[in-house]
Amino acid sequence: MEILVCVKRVPMVGGKIVVTADGRDVDTRMSGFTVSPHEECAVEEAVRLAERHGGGVTVLTLGPAAAADQLRDMLALGASRAVLLETDGREWGPVATAGAIVDAIRAGEPRYDLLLFGNEAADTGDYQVGVRVALALGLPCVTGIKNLDVADDGASARARREYRGAEEAFEIPLPAVVSVKEGINLPRYPSLPGRLRAKRATIERRVPAWHPDGLRRERLRVPAGETKRAEILGTGTDAVPALVAVLDELGMLP
């Protein structure tokens, strides 16, 4: 079976978020980049299905030329083909992104039996692109999936997800669109041969058509966080009266 996995290049999170001077974007000059965790799990799931049923895995991303690095990371995990829809730096919202992916699927080969997405991007959390692609292609779509099994004949799949303490199961015909959540599997660590193969691999590059979506980002704002401070009450026995006063203030003394 042929599987397409759509991934997104996102900044690594861990430090303080800083907005650019114009307030229109996140300052990523000091950040590294990676693939959203949900999408890394989607690639791992696709590779496992291809190993079980045969076929190939294509990874696709829309982004700048530097996004080829993230595609090579996914090739190192076991994907067999990579496609970069190279952008010119303008802002691509979920409508424009979904439109570019749909165009690429319709124009290219092979015909995919399964389209996998991450449940949401780690940076914007739009939850939209996979659903929009499914709607445009007229394919069944299930989201938030934590377990996925494909029938031996490749004609259908069984997808399961957790919802309010219960499990929902879906039987879907293929081809279909499935968005998966982190935790569906544990992505493998890329091997040295895999990294070397990915380094030599050819990235297919295409220039996508712009699909205006009527949305425009006006400004970003970092929410005010809680301020924390520490106060030294004293040292040794000299701090005991102050400590007792604090405990009494907190209502912890009888």
Q: What is the mean pLDDT of the chain?
A: 86
Q: Tell me, what's the pLDDT at 160?
A: 93
Q: Is the dihedral of CA 245, 250, 253, 254 positive or negative?
A: positive
HSE-CB at 248 with a 13 A cutoff on CA atoms is 6
pLDDT in tens, 162-200: 888 889 999 999 999 999 998 899 999 888 988 999 999
**What is the CATH code of the structural domain delimited by 2-206?**
3.40.50.620
Percent of the chain with pLDDT over 90: 47
Mind giving me the DSSP string for 237-251? GGGHHHHHHHHHHTT
Per residue, the 3-state secondary structure of 153-185, as one string, reads CCCEEEEEEEECCEEEEEEEECCEEEEECCCCC
Question: Does position 147 have pLDDT exceeding 80, yes or no?
Answer: yes
CB contact set of 167 (below 8 Å; sequence gap of 6+): 160, 161
pLDDT number for residue 137:
95
Judged against a pLDDT cut of 80, whether residue 220 lies above it is answered with no
Domain residue ranges of the chain, discontinuous segments joined by +: 2-206
The model's pTM is 0.80
What would the pLDDT profile of 71-110 be if each residue is shown by its tens digit?
A: 999 999 999 999 999 998 777 888 889 999 999 999 877 7
Residue 84: its pLDDT value, please?
94
The CA distance from 251 to 242, in Å, is: 14
**Percent of the chain scoring above 70 in pLDDT:** 91
The answer to whether 5 and 39 are in contact (CB under 8 A) is yes
